[in-house]
């Protein structure tokens, strides 16, 4: 075991890692259970985390690669009382069914909106193409994200 240090949800922490340990396993055993185990081969997006502002599949990321990085999991975004605007939009649009994919979807959407606050439809599809949802057929998720984008666009135009 070796010790690595990285920031998780804004808090600097030390972790003891095995060389072949994946980031998902390290984080889940340390309490970040919002990160879901799905395909285990970097396809479905249930295990998505944000590393240095970009989404990554934690199921195929060796934990030691997180050393020195800034990592965000779903636990770092909003609370039950004060949900993140993306979470709020997903709920109000009825875009959540079983919910297993939702932490990954919220994080992918957040990473996208942090980079492009008013993405066009193609950009939304590009940024969200690594998250599968087997319940909703994507339409409601997409509508919820467009709602957040519309709100951002309104804020941008008010600033101007």
List contacts with another protein (CB under 8 A): 2, 19-20, 41-43, 45, 48, 51, 54-57, 60-62, 64-65, 67, 108, 126-130
Residue 64 CB, nearest distance to another protein (Å)?
A: 5
The tokens describing 89, both together, are 């939009």
Q: How far apart are CA 105 and CA 87, in angstroms?
A: 10
Whichever of 91 and 134 has its CB closer to another protein, that residue is: 134
Burial call 66-92: b when 16+ CB within 10 Å, e when fewer: beebebbbbbbbbeeeeebbbbbbbee
Whichever of 96 and 124 has its CB closer to another protein, that residue is: 124
Residue 141 CB, nearest distance to another protein (Å)?
A: 15
| Burial (CB count <10 Å: 0-12, 13-18, 19+), residue 133 | buried
Whichever of 7 and 83 has its CB closer to another protein, that residue is: 7
Whichever of 120 and 154 has its CB closer to another protein, that residue is: 120
Residue 117 CB, nearest distance to another protein (Å)?
A: 15
């Amino acid at each position: 075991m070796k010790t690595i240090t990285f920031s998780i949800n804004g808090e600097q922490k030390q972790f003891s890692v095995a060389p072949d340990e994946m980031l998902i396993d390290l984080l889940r055993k340390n309490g970040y259970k919002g990160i879901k185990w799905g395909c285990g081969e970097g396809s479905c997006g249930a295990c998505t985390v944000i590393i240095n502002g970009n989404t990554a599949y934690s199921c195929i990321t060796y934990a030691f690669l997180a050393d020195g990085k800034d990592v965000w999991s779903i636990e770092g975004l909003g609370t039950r009382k004060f949900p993140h605007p993306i979470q709020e939009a997903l709920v109000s649009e009825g875009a959540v069914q079983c919910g297993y994919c939702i932490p990954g979807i919220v994080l992918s959407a957040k990473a996208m909106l942090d980079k492009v606050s008013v993405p066009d439809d193609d950009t939304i599809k590009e940024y969200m193409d690594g998250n599968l949802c087997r319940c909703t057929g994507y339409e409601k998720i997409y509508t919820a994200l467009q709602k957040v984008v519309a709100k951002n666009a309104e804020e941008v135009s008010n600033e101007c």
